Amino acid sequence: MEPEQIAELRTMYIFTPPAGQTWGLAYEGLEAVLRERNPDEFVRVDDGAEGPVQGSSMHFGITLNDEQLEGMALLSPEGVSIKDCTAQSAAGFVLWLRNKVVPAA
Protein backbone atom coordinates (compact mmCIF):
# COMPACT_ATOMS: atom_id res chain seq x y z
CA MET A 1 0.00 0.00 0.00
CA GLU A 2 1.32 3.43 -0.95
CA PRO A 3 1.71 6.20 1.68
CA GLU A 4 -1.04 8.24 -0.02
CA GLN A 5 -3.43 5.30 0.26
CA ILE A 6 -2.56 4.76 3.92
CA ALA A 7 -3.22 8.45 4.64
CA GLU A 8 -6.73 8.07 3.21
CA LEU A 9 -7.70 5.01 5.29
CA ARG A 10 -10.76 5.70 7.41
CA THR A 11 -11.53 4.19 10.81
CA MET A 12 -12.97 5.05 14.22
CA TYR A 13 -10.69 6.74 16.75
CA ILE A 14 -11.46 6.51 20.46
CA PHE A 15 -10.09 8.94 23.05
CA THR A 16 -10.27 8.29 26.80
CA PRO A 17 -8.71 9.73 29.95
CA PRO A 18 -5.67 7.89 31.32
CA ALA A 19 -6.46 4.85 33.48
CA GLY A 20 -7.69 5.90 36.91
CA GLN A 21 -8.35 9.51 35.82
CA THR A 22 -11.41 11.39 34.60
CA TRP A 23 -12.18 14.34 32.37
CA GLY A 24 -15.38 15.04 34.29
CA LEU A 25 -17.18 14.61 30.98
CA ALA A 26 -20.80 15.79 30.91
CA TYR A 27 -23.07 15.66 27.88
CA GLU A 28 -24.25 19.22 28.54
CA GLY A 29 -20.68 20.56 28.51
CA LEU A 30 -19.76 18.70 25.33
CA GLU A 31 -22.95 19.88 23.65
CA ALA A 32 -22.19 23.48 24.64
CA VAL A 33 -18.71 23.48 23.07
CA LEU A 34 -20.05 21.75 19.95
CA ARG A 35 -22.72 24.44 19.61
CA GLU A 36 -20.07 27.16 20.09
CA ARG A 37 -18.49 25.87 16.89
CA ASN A 38 -21.80 25.52 15.06
CA PRO A 39 -25.19 26.28 16.64
CA ASP A 40 -26.87 23.89 14.19
CA GLU A 41 -24.63 20.90 14.99
CA PHE A 42 -26.44 17.56 15.30
CA VAL A 43 -26.56 16.36 18.94
CA ARG A 44 -28.63 13.49 20.37
CA VAL A 45 -28.48 11.90 23.82
CA ASP A 46 -29.89 8.39 24.17
CA ASP A 47 -30.82 7.41 27.71
CA GLY A 48 -29.89 3.88 28.66
CA ALA A 49 -32.31 1.45 30.22
CA GLU A 50 -31.04 2.34 33.70
CA GLY A 51 -31.31 6.11 33.70
CA PRO A 52 -29.69 9.14 32.10
CA VAL A 53 -26.08 8.17 32.87
CA GLN A 54 -25.47 4.44 33.06
CA GLY A 55 -25.88 2.95 29.61
CA SER A 56 -26.48 6.31 27.95
CA SER A 57 -24.66 7.71 24.95
CA MET A 58 -24.38 10.99 23.09
CA HIS A 59 -24.15 11.10 19.30
CA PHE A 60 -23.04 14.25 17.54
CA GLY A 61 -21.89 15.73 14.29
CA ILE A 62 -18.85 17.94 13.90
CA THR A 63 -17.39 19.68 10.86
CA LEU A 64 -13.61 19.77 10.59
CA ASN A 65 -11.89 21.26 7.53
CA ASP A 66 -15.14 21.18 5.53
CA GLU A 67 -15.63 17.48 6.34
CA GLN A 68 -18.72 16.42 8.26
CA LEU A 69 -17.92 13.71 10.79
CA GLU A 70 -19.96 11.79 13.33
CA GLY A 71 -18.91 11.09 16.89
CA MET A 72 -20.11 9.48 20.06
CA ALA A 73 -19.46 10.09 23.76
CA LEU A 74 -19.97 7.85 26.77
CA LEU A 75 -19.88 8.76 30.44
CA SER A 76 -19.21 5.19 31.54
CA PRO A 77 -16.70 4.13 30.41
CA GLU A 78 -15.73 7.75 29.86
CA GLY A 79 -14.58 8.66 26.37
CA VAL A 80 -15.25 10.27 23.03
CA SER A 81 -14.94 8.68 19.60
CA ILE A 82 -14.95 9.99 16.07
CA LYS A 83 -16.16 7.64 13.32
CA ASP A 84 -15.05 6.95 9.77
CA CYS A 85 -12.25 9.49 9.55
CA THR A 86 -8.65 9.72 8.43
CA ALA A 87 -5.73 10.04 10.83
CA GLN A 88 -5.38 13.70 9.83
CA SER A 89 -9.04 14.42 10.64
CA ALA A 90 -8.71 12.52 13.93
CA ALA A 91 -5.66 14.62 14.81
CA GLY A 92 -7.65 17.82 14.22
CA PHE A 93 -10.52 16.46 16.30
CA VAL A 94 -8.31 15.45 19.23
CA LEU A 95 -6.66 18.90 19.25
CA TRP A 96 -10.10 20.50 19.48
CA LEU A 97 -11.11 17.97 22.16
CA ARG A 98 -7.98 18.70 24.22
CA ASN A 99 -8.38 22.46 23.91
CA LYS A 100 -12.14 22.68 24.50
CA VAL A 101 -13.31 19.61 26.46
CA VAL A 102 -10.49 17.93 28.34
CA PRO A 103 -9.49 19.82 31.52
CA ALA A 104 -5.94 21.15 31.74
CA ALA A 105 -3.64 18.82 33.63
The reply to whether 75 falls in a domain is yes
The reply to whether 70 falls in a domain is yes
The reply to whether 30 falls in a domain is yes
Range of the domain at 86: 14-100
CA gap 97, 33 in Å, rounded: 9
Q: Using an 8 Å Cβ cutoff, are 80 and 25 in contact? A: yes
Q: Residue-wise over 25-58: b if at least 16 C-beta within 10 A, else e?
A: bebeebbeebeeeeeebebeeeeeeeeeeeebeb
How many separate domains does the chain show? 1
The reply to whether 3 falls in a domain is no
The reply to whether 6 falls in a domain is no
The reply to whether 31 falls in a domain is yes
Structure confidence at residue 5 as a pLDDT band (50, 70, 90) = confident
Q: What is the pLDDT of residues 48-91, one digit of tens each?
A: 655 445 568 999 999 988 889 999 999 989 999 999 999 999 99
Instruction: Please report, rounded to a whole number, the percentage of residues in the chain having pLDDT higher than 90.
Output: 70
Instruction: Please report, rounded to a whole number, the percentage of residues in the chain having pLDDT higher than 70.
Output: 91
The reply to whether 38 falls in a domain is yes
The reply to whether 105 falls in a domain is no
